[in-house]
Copies of this chain bind each other. A is one copy, B any other.
Amino acid sequence: MSGIKKAGVLGATGSVGQRFILLLSKHPEFKIHALGASSRSSGKKYSDAVQWKQQDILPESASNIIVEECKPDGNFKDCDVVFSGLDSDVAGEIEKNFVESGLVVISNAKNYRREPNVPLVVPIVNPEHINLVENKVKSELAKGNEKPGFLICISNCSTAGLVAPLKPLVDKFGPIDALTAVTLQAISGAGFSPGVSGMDILDNIVPFISGEEDKLEWETKKILGGINSNGTEFEPISDDKMKVSAQCNRVPVIDGHTECISLRFANRPPPSVEEVKKCLREYVCDASKLGCHSAPKQTIHVLEQQDRPQPRLDRERDNGYGVSVGRIRQDSLLDFKMVVLSHNTIIGAAGSGILIAEILKAKNLI
């Protein structure tokens, strides 16, 4: 269970797939072993199949790999872990096939996020949700069965940034019973083709992202929620225990989601501003404790300058795995207001997938 792990990437030509490949190509613990895409691309060299749109050049370790169809055979069969950047319209069936074939899939697609027995994981927030599959794997192995395949879902990009500061606060000060979040989301989250049109976003903002508000409201409750007493299913926080209200906007920013949030603790009196800041500053995520390669040195960066965080200046903290929080202050309606910034394609998407895989490796699950 040690050494370099073989990684596959589904949806390899898409924008999330390209990010997986870029991160894997520089990673000391993974090796790109299989790339899957639609039948339009399969059979071609990756460099011929892809319209590469990253700031780093196409990694040599990927460019000559022959793209396969997204089936759990061929090179995928030998993969220790498969990262899925598939669109949701095809992810459902393909990921199911892969898991049933005994493969470990880490998916950025939304299809299975709400399944009660599938972990929805932001690796700097709730890696303990992986315990559910860990238990299942141990149990099967104990029965003498083969190691089963399993699926872990990466959260929605705007959810990841939001829950990062909430977790340590809830751990320390108890439940949050009301939360509002207005997001200013970067366009890279929408991919390239078509993605967000230039005509829609230059000198403009779009105050709507399809399905986003519902995802943000629902996923937050699962990620901050618990597991049932049998250890078999997740139990999201109920709507009456935690009211979450989201308003999502697309803004002319390349990378980095900014979120203006306000929140109220259930316990009275609430902590002071200084206690909130201290709690966030001192938070060390489990991925860091496990020594994971990509884990941020500082999980939450608490900024004191009054005009920060800003996406262009702060999104790259800890290679995009750190989250920045600024303007922490009291709120006249709830308890606190603050601004949260996270890198939507790193901690909000592909990067989270990589860090989840590092945690799986640290736990000998791959």
Contacts and interface: CB of A to CB of B under 8 A. Distances in A.
Question: Among A192, A252, A262, which residue has the most Cβ atoms of chain B within 10 A?
Answer: A252
A254 B327 CA distance: 25
Number of chain A interface residues as a range: 35 or more
A107 interface: no
A249 interface: yes
Given A194-B193, A312-B55, A204 B245 contact: no
Contacts of A1: none
A333 B245 contact: yes
A237 interface: no
B245 A331 contact: yes
A311 interface: yes
A144 interface: no
A85 to B, nearest CB: 16
A178 interface: yes
Interface in A72-125: none
Contacts of A194: 193-194, 197
A146 interface: no
Given A199-B53, A199-B195, A333-B178, A208 B254 contact: no
A205 interface: yes
A307 interface: yes
A332 B201 contact: no
Contact of A203 (B184, B203, B244, B331): B203
B182 A187 contact: no
A249 B312 CA distance: 14
A239 B334 CA distance: 14
A291 interface: no
A332 B217 contact: yes
Given A188-B199, A200-B198, A310 B244 contact: no
A338 to B, nearest CB: 9
A307 B208 contact: yes
B203 A197 contact: no
Given A239-B332, A312-B55, A332-B239, A201 B204 contact: no
Contacts of A332: 217, 239, 243-245
B310 A205 contact: yes
A312 B243 contact: no
A166 interface: no
Contacts of A333: 178-180, 243-245
Contacts of A331: 245
A25 interface: no
A198 B205 contact: no
Contact of A208 (B54, B192, B327): B327
17 contacts: A178-B333, A184-B251, A187-B198, A202-B202, A202-B203, A202-B253, A203-B311, A206-B307, A206-B310, A207-B310, A208-B306, A208-B327, A244-B332, A245-B334, A247-B337, A252-B253, A254-B312
Interface of A: 53-57, 178-180, 182, 184, 187-188, 190-208, 217, 239, 243-245, 247, 249, 251-254, 258, 260, 262, 306-313, 316-317, 326-327, 331-334, 337, 339
